[in-house]
Amino acid sequence: MMEQKLIKVIVGSKNPVKVNASRTVIAQLYPEHIVECDGIDAPSNVPDQPMDASETREGAINRVKYCKQNADADFYIAIEGGVDLLDDGPATFAYVVIANKEQQSVGRSAALPLPAPIYQSLLNGEELGPVMDKLFKTVNIKHKGGAIGLLTNGHATRESNYTQGLTLAMAPFLYPDLYNQ
């Protein structure tokens, strides 16, 4: 029997939703490998509640940079959730960044429209997770289904949204010859 190769993944957060999404994606894309996935506390160097796309993107990039400087792995992954006022109204989404020693890929999850009163709470300095906890009487929803789970009656979750974003951002690693031209 052939020995399975190990893929080591470091995620720039200890949030179980982010670590599980990362582990799921790498395991699905590399089924012949054993995936070891650990989260570390990586600073985003942006506010806890990023309020626009560029701040959210910067937070994810900063987390991956920190992971690369402080751990040895095959893949470094960071996921930063944020909000922005889009053309059609306020929404929440995440930026995902995946890197290895040679390249980096930046992707973005789908956007969930946010009700105006929730967005107003964020503009007033609150964080999305605690706002949702208060509104829906949940506890620490950001480590579970998130606002996405609550506002879709569980048909989508924070993790399913991250999983899709990460899967798409992995394309340049699956086809490096096409992307590095």
Each residue's pLDDT tens digit, 11-45: 999 999 999 999 999 999 999 999 999 999 999 99
Please give the single-letter amino acid code of residue 42: A
- Rounded average pLDDT over 1-17: 91
pLDDT at 54: 98
Q: Are strands 5-11 and 33-39 parallel, antiparallel or unpaired?
A: parallel
Amino acid at 152: T
The residue ranges of every structural domain in the chain are 5-112+157-176
> In the CATH scheme, what is the code of domain 5-112+157-176?
3.90.950.10
Q: Is the pLDDT of residue 181 over 90?
A: no
Phi, then psi, of 77 in degrees rounded to 5: -130, 135
pTM to 2 decimals? 0.94
pLDDT classification of 70: cutoffs 50, 70, 90: very high
Q: What is the pLDDT of residues 162-180, one digit of tens each?
A: 999 999 999 999 999 999 8
With b for 16 or more beta-carbon neighbours within 10 A and e for fewer, the 150-163 pattern comes to bbeeeebbbbbbbb
**Separation of alpha carbons 131 and 136, rounded Å:** 9
Give the distance from CA 102 to its chain's centroid. 21
pLDDT at 112 over 70: yes
pLDDT surpasses 80 at 157? yes
Q: How confident is the model at residue 2 (pLDDT cuts 50, 70, 90)?
A: low
